Amino acid sequence: MTNPILEIRNLHARIEDREILKGVNLAIPAGELHAVMGRNGSGKSTLSYVLAGKEDYEITEGEVLLDGVDLLGMEPNERAAAGLFLAFQYPIEIPGVATMTFLKAAMNAQRKSRGEGEISTPDFMRAVKEAGASLNIDASMLKRPLNVGFSGGEKKRAEVLQMALLAPKMCILDETDSGLDIDALQVVSKGVNALRSEQRSMLVITHYQRLLNHIVPDVVHVFSDGRIVESGDKSLALQLEAKGYADFDSEPA
Amino acid sequence: MMSALDIPTLKENIDRETVDQVLSLDVDKYKYGFSTDIESDMAPQGLSEDIVRFISAKKNEPQWMLDWRLDAYRRWLTMDEPAWAKVHYPQLDFQDMYFYAAPKSTPAPTSLDEVDPELLAMYDKLGIPLKEREILAGVERPNVAVDAVMDSVSVVTTFREELAKVGIIFCSISEAIREHAELVQKYLGSVVPVTDNYYATLNSAVFTDGSFVYIPKGVRCPMELSTYFRINEKKTGQFERTLIIAEDDSYVSYLEGCTAPMRDESQLHAAVVELVALENAEIKYSTVQNWYPGDKDGKGGIYNFVTKRGDCRGNGSKISWTQVETGSAITWKYPSCILRGDNSRGEFYSIAISNGYQQVDSGTKMIHLGKNTSSKIIAKGIAAGFSDNTYRGQVSAHAKAKGARNFTQCDSLLIGDKCGAHTVPYIESRNATAVFEHEATTSKISDDQMFYCQQRGLNEEEAVALIVNGFVRDVLQHLPMEFMVESQKLIAISLEGSVG
C-alpha cells in the first residue's frame, strides 16, 4: 500500500543530441538500500544528476516520484528540501566558505523552504559535533573552506556529514568509494550504515563490488546502455565481480 | 544668471531674491557677517564665484577659508574633467546643479508609495525601521526628519562629551573651521592639495560639510567613530569634506557610510577625505558605500567621484583603508597612502560589487617615499549583470624608499557573461631594493558550484551570496564587527537578480 520512497518510471534523458537514459524503471521502498552497478559510461552518474536536477540534461520521457510527489518539476534546491540528497563522486570546492558555515547555510535553507525557523546555534553545534564524531571530523576540519585542499577521504566524509545533518529521505551515493583507501572506506561505510533506517532509502551507484562488502545492499541492479538490464539480491554483485559486465551487454531490452 | 521665464514658483522667487541680493553686494561686505542677512536656505542654481562666496558666507566662514575656496574655484575653471577611467556618462552640466542645500530638481516623494519599489524591497530585507526608510528614501515629511535629528542630538552630545574628556575633537568640518582654525589651516589640503584633480578641486571650492577628527598625542580613541553619530545635515552629502588627524602614538578607527541605500536627487557626489598620521599613529578608515545605483535599466543613480588619501607622515605610522562598494551608478575612487615616514605602512582592502548597469573604476595608490615602508593591497571585484568593474592601482617606490615592499592581490569574480572585470596595475620602482609582488586572478562562479549548493538546498540567490561571501572573506574580516555582519547581508542583496 505504501508508496516507494523513490519511483522512476520509463525515464529518458539526453544531453544535446545524445540519449543517455533510455527508459529507466526503478522503485525503492522505504528502508531499502539498492545498488546500481555498471561500467563506466553506462549512464549511472547521469541518472544521479538527472534525479538531483542538474540542468545540462533534457528529460524527454518518463516521470520520477519522491514519496509520491513529482520530482522533475522541481528546482534542485526544492528537491533537496523535499528530502533528496546526492553524495557527489567529486565534491565541489567552495573557496572561502568554512565547512561549518556551509553546513548551517544548507540546513537553514532547507528549513526555510519547509517553512521552519532557523536552527539555533547551540542546537546546530551539538548536531555537528555528534555527527562529526563518528566520522572522525574535528573542529579544525570544519573551519576549513569546504572541500578546498581536502584529501579524498576528507571529501567523502564531509559528504556523509552533510547527509547526516540534512536527514534526507532518499540518499543517492555516486561512486562514494572512488578515491578512498581501505581505512577511509571503512569510516565512510560505517557513517552510511549508521544512517540506514526504516524511513530512509538509499541508492548506491558504484563501479566495483568492493563497496558493497561494507554497505550491503538489499537489491542490486545492473545498469547497461542507459537502462537497468538485470536485478537481483546481493549475490548479483558477486556474480558481476567474477564474470564482468560483458554478459549483460548483449541482452536485449 | 537666471531669466525671469525660468522662475514660475514662489520658492524660486525667493531664490531670485537671493541671487539679486548676492549680486548687489560687493566683495568686502562678505567679511562682516553677511550670512545673517540671508534667510533663504537655497543657493541659486549653477556655479560661479558668487556661489562660492554664498556658501562660505552662509557658513559664517573666516576670510582665509573663503580665499582658499576662491583659489580652488579659479583653479578648477582651468582644469579638464579626467577621461582616463573606464567609465562612461553624459557630460555633467554644472550650471544645472545646486551647490548648497539643493532644492529638489524634481518634486520629492510625499509618501513611500511614490518611491521605487525595488528600493523599498531592499529596505525591507535589511530590516530598516519604517521611519528610517522614509528618511533614506528622501520622503518630504519634515516631522519625521526632525524626530530623527532630535534623537541623534542627544546621542551625539553624549559621545562628544565622552570624547572631549580625552581631548578628542569630533565635530563637523564647518564647526572645526570656526572653532579649531589653527588645526584646519595647518592640515586642510595638505594631503589632497587644492590643485590635486578636477573633482577634488571642485570639492575644495564648494564643499558644504563633513567630519573633522583630531586625536591628541598618545590617545587611543575609545570607540569607533562613525558618521552615524554625527548629525549629517540633510542634503549636504553632495560635496563632503573629511579631515582626520592622528597625533604621535595615537589610534583611531573611523566608519563611514551606511548599509542602507540612500536615494538622492543630486547626481554628482565628489567627496574629499584627508588622513594625517603622525609618528607611530594609526588610522583605520572603513567605508560601506551604498548610494542609489539607478534602476534596473541603468537610469538614475549617483555618480560618485571621490578623492581619499592618507599621509603616513611620521615614522612608523600606519593607515588602513577598508571599503565595501556596492552602490552608485558610477564609482571613481582610489583611497591611497603616501608612505612618507620611514617604516610606515599602508593597507587597502576592498570589495567592489557591480550589478545591473553599474560602472566601477576603483583601486588605490601606494606611494613609497620613506625607508622600509610596506604596503598591502587586497582587492576583490565582483561583476554581475551588465556591469563593468575595473581595478586600477598604482604602486611606486621613489629613489629614497630603500627596502620598500608591496604585496598586491587582485581577484575578480564574474557572474554571468554580460559583465566585465578589468585589472589595470601600474608599478613603478626607482629603487633596486624595493620588492613588489602582484597576483591577480579572474574566475567565474562555475555551474558545478551552483549545482552543488542548490543540491544542498540553497536557491540560486542564496548560492551566489554564499560563494561571493567566501570570495571576499579575506577582506570582510578587516571590517569592524558590526559592519562585517551588515556587509554580508548587503552583498547578498546587491547581487539579487544576477542569476537565472
Q: What is the per-residue pLDDT across B86-109, written as a single tens digit (0 to 9) for each?
A: 888 877 877 777 776 543 334 555
- Asked if residue A59 lies in contact with residue A13, where contact means CB atoms within 8 angstroms, the answer is yes
Other beta carbons less than 10 A from residue B237's beta carbon = 19
CB-based burial label for A47 (10 Å; 0-12, 13-18, 19+): buried
Q: Cβ of A77 and B466 within 8 Å?
A: no
pLDDT digits (tens, 9 = 90+) for A142-189: 999 999 999 999 999 999 999 999 999 999 999 998 888 888 899 999
| Residues B262/B289, Cβ–Cβ less than 8 Å | no
In chain B, residues with a C-beta closer than 8 Å to the C-beta of A166 are 456-457
Q: What is the pLDDT of residue A29?
A: 95
Min Cα–Cα distance to chain B from A38, Å: 24
* Interface check A45 vs B, CB under 8 A: no
Nearest CB neighbour to A92, from listed B452, B462, B469: B452
Residue A240 Cα, gap to closest chain B Cα (Å): 32
Q: Nearest 5°: phi and psi at A225?
A: 50, 45
| The predicted structure's pLDDT at residue A181 | 87
Angstrom distance (rounded) from CA A124 to CA A193 = 22
Which of the four pLDDT bands, split at 50, 70 and 90, describes residue B434?
Answer: very high
Q: Which of B447, B458, B460 to mutate to test the interface with A (most CBs of A within 10 A)?
A: B458
List chain B domain ranges: 37-494
**pLDDT band for position B36 (50/70/90)?**
very low
Predicted pLDDT at B118: 65
Integer distance in angstroms from the first to the last C-alpha of chain B? 51
Provide the chain B residues 430-469 that lie in CB contact (below 8 A) with chain A: 446-449, 451-460, 462, 466-467, 469
Best B448, B454, B475, B489 member to test A by mutation, with max A CBs in 10 Å, is B454
Q: Please give the pLDDT value at position B138.
A: 55
B337: pLDDT strictly greater than 80: yes
A145 CB near a chain B CB, below 8 Å?
A: yes
Check: complex ipTM more than 0.90: yes
The three cell numbers of residue B432 are: 633596486
Per-residue pLDDT tens over the stretch B154-193: 445 567 777 888 999 988 888 899 999 999 999 999 999 9
Chain A residues touching residue B466 (CB < 8 angstroms): 94, 97, 101-102, 105
Q: What is the mean pLDDT of residues B302-312?
A: 92
Of A55, A109, A162, the CB nearest to B462: A109
In this prediction, residues B114-124 reach a mean pLDDT of 64
pLDDT, tens digit, 9 for 90 and up, residues A104-155:
999 999 999 889 999 999 999 999 999 999 898 988 999 999 999 999 999 9
0.95 exceeded by the pTM? no
Size of the A and B interface in Cβ pairs below 8 Å: 81
Interface-testing mutation among A77, A102, A114, with chain B (most B C-beta atoms within 10 A): A77
CA distance A150 to A141: 9
Give B294 or B317, the one with higher predicted confidence: B317
Of A76, A95, A110, the CB nearest to B470: A95
B470 and A105 within 8 Å at the Cβ level: the answer is no
In angstroms, rounded to a whole number, what is the distance separating the alpha carbons of residues B449 and B439? 24
Task: Spell out the domains of chain A, with CATH numbers in brackets.
Answer: 6-248 (3.40.50.300)
Q: What is the pLDDT of residues B235-265, one digit of tens each?
A: 445 788 999 999 999 999 998 876 555 655 5
∠ CA(B276), CA(B281), CA(B284), 5° rounding?
70
**What's the confidence (pLDDT) of residue B490?**
82
C-alpha A248/C-alpha A38 separation (Å) is 10
Q: Is residue A82 scored above 50 in pLDDT?
A: yes
Q: Average pLDDT for residues A192-196, to the nearest whole number? A: 94
